[in-house]
Structure 1
Amino acid sequence: MLKSARKSERDPEGRMPLADHLRELRNRLVKSLVAIFVATVIAAFFYKHIVEFFTDPILDAVGCAYSFAELAKGTEDMQCARIVQNGLLSPFTLALTVSLASGVVLSSPVWLYQLWAFVAPGLHRHEKKYSLAFVAAGFPLFVLGAYFAYWSLPKMASVMLEFAIIGADNQLPLEDLLHLVMRMIVVFGLSFELPLLLVMLNFGGVLTGKRMAGWWRGMILGITLFAAIATPSTDPLSMLALAGPIWVMYFGATGISLLNDKRRARREAEGPADDEASELDLTPEDIGEIEPVSTAPALPEQATRDRVNGYDDVT
C-alpha cells in the first residue's frame, strides 16, 4: 500500500527530491552489481571455452605446434607458435579477468536498462525517441565492428609471424594475446560508432550534411591513417578491413544528414504546426505611425505664497 501510494505521488515529469534520487540511484546500482556478479559466476564455469573462442582462430592461422619436434617439422612451410602461461598465479588471475569481463558483457542488457530507467524520466518525449533510436543503432554497429576485428585477427597474426626467425620457438603469452584481442575488438567496435556520432551531431543542429559532404577527402585520409595505426599488422588487407566499412558508413551518415537538413528546412518554411505555439513578433510594423505619449500637464504655479485656510495650492 505504501509503495503504490509513493509511486502515485511521483511527479509525472520525473521530478523528485534529492533524497529520492539518491535512493533510486542506489537501488539501480545494486541491481546492476547483482546482475554483473551472477553473470560473472556463470562465466567462470565456462571461461576456458571463452578463451578458446578467442584464441583458436589465431592458433589455427599461425599453425600452432605443441612440441619442438612438430615445430621443427612445420618450419619448412610455415612459422608455428604456441600459447604459454608464465607464473603460478597466472592461470587463476586470468580466469578471474576473463570471467569478470564476460560477466560485464553478458549482463549489459540489465545494467544498460537500469541506466536508461534512471535517466529517462528527465528526458522529453522526442529526446527519448532519439536516444532509443541511437542505442538501437549503436549496438549492432559495435557488434559489426567486433566481428570485423575477430575476422581480421587471424590474418594479422599470420602476417606478423612472417617476421619471426626460421626455426625459433614462437611463444605467445596468453595474457598478452587476450589483451590484444580485446583491444582490437574495442577499437574496431568504437570506430564503427563514428557515423552514428556524426548523425547525432546533425540531429542536434551542431553539424550540417553539407559540411560533412565537404569533408570527404579529409575524412577518407583520416580514416585510412587511423586504420593503419590501429591495426598491428602491416598488410593492406587488415587496414582495408577496418577502413573500408567506415568509409561506406561515413557516406551513409552524410546522406542521412542531408535528408535531415532538407526535412528541417521544409518544416521551417511551412511554419509551426497546429499544436505548436508560434513566435510573437513584438516589433512595430511602422514606427512612424506611433503617436508619442504626451506628458502629464504641469500644475499651475501658485500666484502668491499666502496660505488660504492654512494650506497652499500644493497641499
Structure 2
Amino acid sequence: MNYTASPQRYQDMEYRRCGKSGLKLPALSLGLWHNFGGIDNFENARTILKLAFDNGVTHIDLANNYGPPAGSAEETFGQVFQKDLKPYRDELVITTKAGYYMWEGPYGEWGSKKYLVSSLDQSLKRMGLDYVDIFYHHRPDPETPLEETMSALDLIVRQGKALYVGISNYSAADTEKAAKILKELGTPCIIHQAKYSMFDRWVEGGLLDVLEANGVGCVAFSPLAQGLLSNKYIKGIPADSRAASGRGNGAIEENRITEENVNKVIKLNDLAVKRGQNLAQMALSWILKDPRITSVILGVSKPQQLTDSLQCLKNTSFDEAELQEINSILA
C-alpha cells in the first residue's frame, strides 16, 4: 500500500529559524546515527521515518559513516525515500556529513577537498538524491588548512550538491574562523551540530555565544547523554541497552553509570514528574529552552520512543526555581 503522509503533520510541530538563514528546522529532528544500519530491522526503521514525518519532523540527520556498517544508514534512508518519501522531497531537510574514516588510503577521512567531494558523491548515490539540504564537515582536521576545507564546502554548494553547509564538533575559536572564511566565500555557515545535554554542557563555555554573534544555528545531538537522561538506568544497566551491548561508538560508557550519576538522574526524574514530564522529555525541553538552539536530534530505536519524545514540546519553559534546582543537582 502506498504511503500517504498525515494531513495534520504540521499541526503540533514548532519550527525554528536556523541562525540568520531563511531555513527553518523542526524543534525535534530525527538522527540516523543508530538503529538504521544494515544490521538493523528495515521495517522498524521505515516505520520510524514515516511516523517522524507524520508528526512534522521534516529534518533527517545522517552522515557517511552512520550504520553499522558505515554507509548503510544512508542506504536504508535511500530505500525508504524511494518507497515512501520521494513525493515529499521538497518538504524534507536531508543532511549528511563527512570527516570520519570511510575508506582506505590517504583520501578516506578528515577534511581535504578530495575527501569531502568524493564522500558526498558517494552519499548522494547511496540515498538516491540529487542534492542534500545541508552538508557538514563532521570534525575539525588538524592538518588540512581550514581554508581548503571551507572552500570545499563552498564548491559543493556552487555545484548544486548541497543547499547549505555547516560544521560539527568544532571549538568556539575554530567555529569563529570557519564562519569568517565561509562568509567571505559567499556561502555562509548556517549551522553547527554539537553534543549537548544536561551532563555535557561544553557549548555554554563560549560556543553558543559565537554562534549567536555570527548568525549560526545550533543543532544538539546526544541530548539524553546516550540514554543516561532517561528512566532506563535508574535501576542499573538493563540487558537490552546500548551500554550492555557495547555496540558501536555510540554506546554509553559503562563508567558513566556511576552511583553518583544515577542519584542525580533520580533527583532530576523527581523534578520532571513535578513538571508533568518524564526525565527524557524534561531533558529535551531543557535544551530547547535556549532560543539559540535550532533543533534537538532524537535517536530512537522504537516508534514509541519517538511519540514519547514529541510530548516534550508541550512544555519547554522553566521557571527560575526549576533551573536552580537542576543546576544544584548537577553541580
TM-score interval, smaller chain = under 0.3
Structure with the largest fraction of helix: 1
TM-score, normalising length from structure 1?
A: 0.20
Structure with the largest fraction of strand: 2
